[in-house]
């Protein structure tokens, strides 16, 4: 659909939300997803006098728990943010059966989910740039700003942008926010660090961040007791960065760095984001073993010479229970433990073929 048509449908969806409607947001369990949810809820609060009634976080490829939670809530409207649900048409159908659905996302588009029950908007529908450079928090901010002023909430979108490493792409927006919201870049970075630390070290408290950010100012958040987890994350990152130097596999011919580790926390995203800054021109894949049935992995490459989303899609293709995808420079997925050797062989084979 054309941009103008999608914007019209978006406005119609928002206007259809009644004051007493139960609105549930499901968002990606990371900084960008959280901030996109906060921006939307803040906009809804200004429009109808009350924000979202429920905010549920979900992992990128695991929507089952979120759908189960939504079924128990029985919402009147559902808003999905920063989740590539178009990869899973059966999940879209499940959500549509529950309530009218609004999908806002910035990952690669796999199919058009627009229907009578669903409004489907990708970042690439709004701007002619790669979706990885237009995070969901900024997309939600721009869409909602067409309906209500969100000048006081700009800082939330900036925290989301930092979470997806998009500062360089939106410098003018940051400059405007710093001036109008009277907040420094250092403070915004500290807030991004707060979200990342809670997500990594104390994941069960991630839901608390929605209430914290929804009700407090940046200065108040900087004094939150949850900031104690930042020191813990810093210590863990230092530990695994050193281990990476000792135990990572360097496949020079394929431009690949492969690293498998067993951390006590869900730390792979924070770790790989720190490592890719030092290896921007390498295909970096880290595999996290938490003792679960599936091994989770993340992939990064900042020069865009190899598409991480397509690499993981192809490397997991044909492996039962495996999944992978995301952005060109940053993607993630999971593979059953028993099939890990096959996944690894596929990665090396695909990259080797690409070098020929």
* Average pLDDT over the chain, rounded to an integer: 95
Four-point Cα dihedral 10, 16, 17, 19, nearest 10? 140
Q: Give pLDDT, residue 65.
A: 84
Residue 240 covered by a domain: no
If asked whether residues 194 and 312 sit together in one domain, one would say no
Tell which wins on pLDDT, 63 or 20.
Answer: 20
If asked whether residues 217 and 278 sit together in one domain, one would say no
The string of pLDDT tens digits covering residues 277-335 is 999 999 999 999 999 999 999 999 999 999 999 999 999 999 999 999 889 999 999 99
Q: What are phi and psi of 252, to 5 degrees?
A: -60, -45
Residue 122 covered by a domain: yes
DSSP state of 202: -
If asked whether residues 184 and 326 sit together in one domain, one would say no
Q: Give pLDDT, residue 187.
A: 98
Residue 238 covered by a domain: no
Q: Give pLDDT, residue 21.
A: 97
If asked whether residues 130 and 205 sit together in one domain, one would say yes
Between CA 99 and CA 108 the distance in angstroms is 25
If asked whether residues 174 and 283 sit together in one domain, one would say no
If asked whether residues 158 and 9 sit together in one domain, one would say yes
Q: How far, in Å, are 99, 101, 106, 322 from residue 120 at the CA level?
A: 14, 8, 11, 26
Supply the range of the domain harboring residue 68.
3-228
Tell which of 228, 261, 290 closes a domain: 228
If asked whether residues 39 and 166 sit together in one domain, one would say yes
Please report, for the domain that includes residue 264, its CATH number: 3.10.310.40
Q: Give pLDDT, residue 356.
A: 57
The string of pLDDT tens digits covering residues 138-167 is 999 999 999 999 999 999 999 999 999 999
Interval 8-28 mean pLDDT = 96
**pLDDT at residue 246 greater than cutoff 90:** yes
Per-residue confidence at 355, pLDDT binned at 50, 70, 90?
low
If asked whether residues 113 and 194 sit together in one domain, one would say yes
The string of pLDDT tens digits covering residues 91-122 is 999 999 999 999 999 999 999 999 999 999 99
Tell which of 228, 259, 293 closes a domain: 228
Q: Give pLDDT, residue 62.
A: 72
Domain count within the chain: 2
Tell which of 228, 257, 287 closes a domain: 228
The string of pLDDT tens digits covering residues 40-92 is 999 999 999 999 999 999 886 677 888 999 999 999 999 999 999 998 889 99
CB 84 within 8 A of CB 34: no
Residue 236 covered by a domain: no
If asked whether residues 90 and 21 sit together in one domain, one would say yes
The string of pLDDT tens digits covering residues 228-239 is 999 999 999 999
The string of pLDDT tens digits covering residues 258-276 is 999 999 988 999 999 999 9
**pLDDT at residue 1 greater than cutoff 90:** no
Q: Give pLDDT, residue 136.
A: 97
Task: Give me 238's structure tokens.
Answer: 């230092």
Between CA 14 and CA 76 the distance in angstroms is 12
Residue 135 covered by a domain: yes
If asked whether residues 303 and 190 sit together in one domain, one would say no
If asked whether residues 54 and 167 sit together in one domain, one would say yes
The string of pLDDT tens digits covering residues 22-46 is 999 999 999 999 999 999 999 999 9
Q: Give pLDDT, residue 60.
A: 67
Please report, for the domain that includes residue 71, its CATH number: 3.90.1640.30
If asked whether residues 10 and 129 sit together in one domain, one would say yes
Residue 237 covered by a domain: no
Residue 241 covered by a domain: no
Residue 234 covered by a domain: no
């Amino acid at each position: 659909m054309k941009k103008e048509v999608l914007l019209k449908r978006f406005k119609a969806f928002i206007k259809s939300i009644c004051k007493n409607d139960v609105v549930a947001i499901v968002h990606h369990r990371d900084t960008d997803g959280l901030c996109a949810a906060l921006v939307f809820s803040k906009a809804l609060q200004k429009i109808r006098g009350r924000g979202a009634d429920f905010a549920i976080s979900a992992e990128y490829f695991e929507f089952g728990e979120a759908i189960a939670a939504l079924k128990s809530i029985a919402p009147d409207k559902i808003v999905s943010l920063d989740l590539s649900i178009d990869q899973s048409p059966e999940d879209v159908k499940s959500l549509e059966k529950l309530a009218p659905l609004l999908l806002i996302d910035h990952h690669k588009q796999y199919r058009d989910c627009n229907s009578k029950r669903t409004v489907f908007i990708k970042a690439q529908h709004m701007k002619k740039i790669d979706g990885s450079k237009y995070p969901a928090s900024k997309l939600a901010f721009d869409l909602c700003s067409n309906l209500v002023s969100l000048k006081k909430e700009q800082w939330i979108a900036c925290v989301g942008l930092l979470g997806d490493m998009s500062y360089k792409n939106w410098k003018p927006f940051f400059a405007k926010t710093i001036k109008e919201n009277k907040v420094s870049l250092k403070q915004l970075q500290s807030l991004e660090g707060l979200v990342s630390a809670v997500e990594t070290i104390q994941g069960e408290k991630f839901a608390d961040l929605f209430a914290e950010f929804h009700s407090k100012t940046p200065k108040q958040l900087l004094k939150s007791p949850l900031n104690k987890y930042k020191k813990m994350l810093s210590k863990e990152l230092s530990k695994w960065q050193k281990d990476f130097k000792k135990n990572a596999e360097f496949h020079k011919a394929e431009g690949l760095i492969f690293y498998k580790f067993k951390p006590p926390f869900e730390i792979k995203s924070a770790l790989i984001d720190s490592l890719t800054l030092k290896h921007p021109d390498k295909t970096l894949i880290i595999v996290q073993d938490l003792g679960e049935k599936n091994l989770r992995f993340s992939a990064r490459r900042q020069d865009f010479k190899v598409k991480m989303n397509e690499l993981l899609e192809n490397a997991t293709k044909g492996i039962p229970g495996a999944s992978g995808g995301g952005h060109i420079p940053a993607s993630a997925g999971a593979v059953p433990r028993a099939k890990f050797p096959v996944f690894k062989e596929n990665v090396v084979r695909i990259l080797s073929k690409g070098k020929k």
